[in-house]
């Protein structure tokens, strides 16, 4: 029998939502759904209106999304409770989210996928971290999976990050176990927690320019930083008034600029000096419970926040925010993924399925 562990906060909300949700009629995960779209009124400080569309999965609890950087119509969704009545695990879409199929061959039964990482140069290589303490690897775009757990504890893998310059180097954040590092593409793992003040890891991001610099968002320990590839860690929390950091995002053009989304009422914080100091940037946010952050790769001053009250957008580096989804039934947004080629398309994971938000041109 598998040991049960307390869920991280965002995951716990997904479980609660699943238990409370009413059952609904199921449709095929490979059948085309009729799109449901709502045009969002044109904001005064933005050039275009936005459309919120329900994709081919109007059911399921989605804690993580990842997009193929080479073929961005290919998406992967980690689920708790599956999609439209199917078992939980990993799902794949090759048509921008309209159709989804299970991609679980080799995954342990009933594995709640909490985290995903994709090799940017070879996007057929993926890693999936699960609630039951396993990391799995696929080398064929999710067609087949094998365990990649040597050296890992049997604890939920809440976060994963991959070195974009040397993709055989990756990191896994275990809930209660700290950070683990692999230098052989998940073949083996070693614990890298010297200096860590907490072992409860929510989020991991890697500096894309200097990948030996890594940041970890933690439960109660704020943001931890390593400048030696995980060899040692230091807290970088000056100005961070809430120390439960649920999500992190790093500016791809100016990696000393980071954003931290917090869980217990702090909202979004911004650092412009590599975590040295932080300032709250919450003007326009109607909630301060933030689960996910995403930065436009072509225009990094544009970023999105997935929150307890929907999706918010900022076009001035967090200076001001505006809610851009009108759907009142899917407030909790746990995952965001931006199309890297057409970044005005944003994929949204909620406790009610996968949605997209896109600009109307």
Give per-residue pLDDT as tens, 179-198.
999 999 999 999 999 999 99
DSSP 133: S
What is the reported pLDDT for 328? 58
pLDDT tens, position by position, 53-78? 655 555 568 899 999 999 999 999 99
Nearest to 179 by CA among 137, 232, 246, 252: 232
Question: Given pLDDT bands bounded at 50, 70 and 90, which one contains residue 18?
Answer: very low
Q: Is the pLDDT of residue 301 over 90?
A: yes
| 37, 288, 294 from 19: Cα distances, Å | 27, 25, 28
DSSP 119: -
pTM of the model: 0.86
- Beta bridge partners, 216, equal 204, 224
Sketch out the chain's domains with CATH numbers: 27-359 (2.130.10.10)
Given a contact cutoff of 8 angstroms between Cβ atoms, the answer to whether 223 and 267 are in contact is no
If 0-12 CB within 10 Å is exposed, 13-18 middle and 19+ buried, where does residue 45 land? exposed
Cα–Cα distance for residue pair 83/92, rounded to 1 Å: 11
- The mean pLDDT of the chain is 83
User: Whose structure tokens read 């040991």?
Assistant: 3
Q: Is the pLDDT of residue 37 over 50?
A: no
Exposed e or buried b per residue across 129-165, where buried means at least 16 C-beta atoms within 10 angstroms of its C-beta: bbbbbbbbbbeebbeebeebbeebbebbbbbbbbbbe
Cα–Cα distance for residue pair 277/60, rounded to 1 Å: 38
What is the helix (H) or strand (E) element at residue 116, kind and residue range? strand 113-118
What is the reported pLDDT for 111? 75
Question: Given pLDDT bands bounded at 50, 70 and 90, which one contains residue 81?
Answer: low
What is the helix (H) or strand (E) element at residue 16, kind and residue range? helix 9-20
Cα–Cα distance for residue pair 161/360, rounded to 1 Å: 32
What is the reported pLDDT for 119? 97
Beta strand 157-162 with 170-174: parallel, antiparallel or unpaired?
A: antiparallel
| 89, 252, 259, 300, 311 from 159: Cα distances, Å | 16, 19, 16, 23, 21
């Amino acid at each position: 029998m598998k040991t049960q562990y307390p869920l991280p906060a965002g995951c716990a909300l997904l479980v609660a939502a699943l238990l409370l949700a009413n059952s609904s009629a199921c449709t095929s995960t490979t059948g085309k759904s009729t799109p449901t779209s709502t045009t969002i009124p044109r904001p005064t400080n933005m050039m275009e209106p936005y459309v919120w569309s329900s994709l081919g999965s109007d059911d399921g609890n989605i804690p993580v999304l990842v997009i193929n950087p080479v073929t961005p119509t290919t998406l992967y969704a980690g689920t708790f409770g599956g999609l439209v009545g199917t078992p939980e695990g990993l799902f794949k879409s090759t048509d921008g989210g309209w159709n989804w199929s299970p991609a679980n061959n080799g995954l342990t039964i009933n594995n709640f996928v909490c985290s995903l990482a994709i090799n940017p140069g070879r996007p057929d290589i993926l890693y999936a971290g699960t609630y039951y303490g396993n990391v799995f690897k696929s080398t064929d775009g999710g067609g087949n999976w094998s365990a990649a757990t040597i050296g890992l504890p049997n604890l939920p893998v809440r976060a994963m990050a991959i070195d974009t310059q040397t993709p055989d180097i990756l990191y896994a954040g275990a809930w209660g176990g700290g950070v683990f590092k692999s230098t052989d593409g998940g073949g083996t793992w070693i614990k890298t927690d010297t200096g860590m003040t907490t072992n409860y890891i929510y989020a991991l991001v890697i500096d894309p320019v200097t990948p030996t610099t890594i940041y970890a968002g933690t439960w109660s320990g704020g943001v931890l930083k390593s400048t030696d590839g995980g060899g040692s860690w230091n807290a970088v929390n000056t100005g961070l008034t809430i120390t439960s950091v649920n999500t992190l995002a790093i500016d791809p053009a100016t990696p000393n600029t980071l954003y931290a989304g917090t869980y217990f009422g702090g909202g979004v914080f911004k650092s412009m000096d590599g975590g040295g100091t932080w300032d709250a940037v919450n003007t326009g946010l109607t909630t301060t419970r933030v689960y996910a952050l995403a930065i436009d790769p072509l225009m990094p001053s544009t970023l999105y926040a997935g929150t307890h009250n929907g999706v918010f957008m900022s076009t001035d580096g967090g200076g001001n925010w505006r809610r851009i989804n009108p759907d009142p039934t899917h407030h909790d947004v746990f995952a965001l993924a931006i199309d890297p080629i057409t970044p005005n398309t944003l994929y949204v994971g909620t406790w009610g399925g996968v949605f997209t938000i896109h600009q109307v041109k």
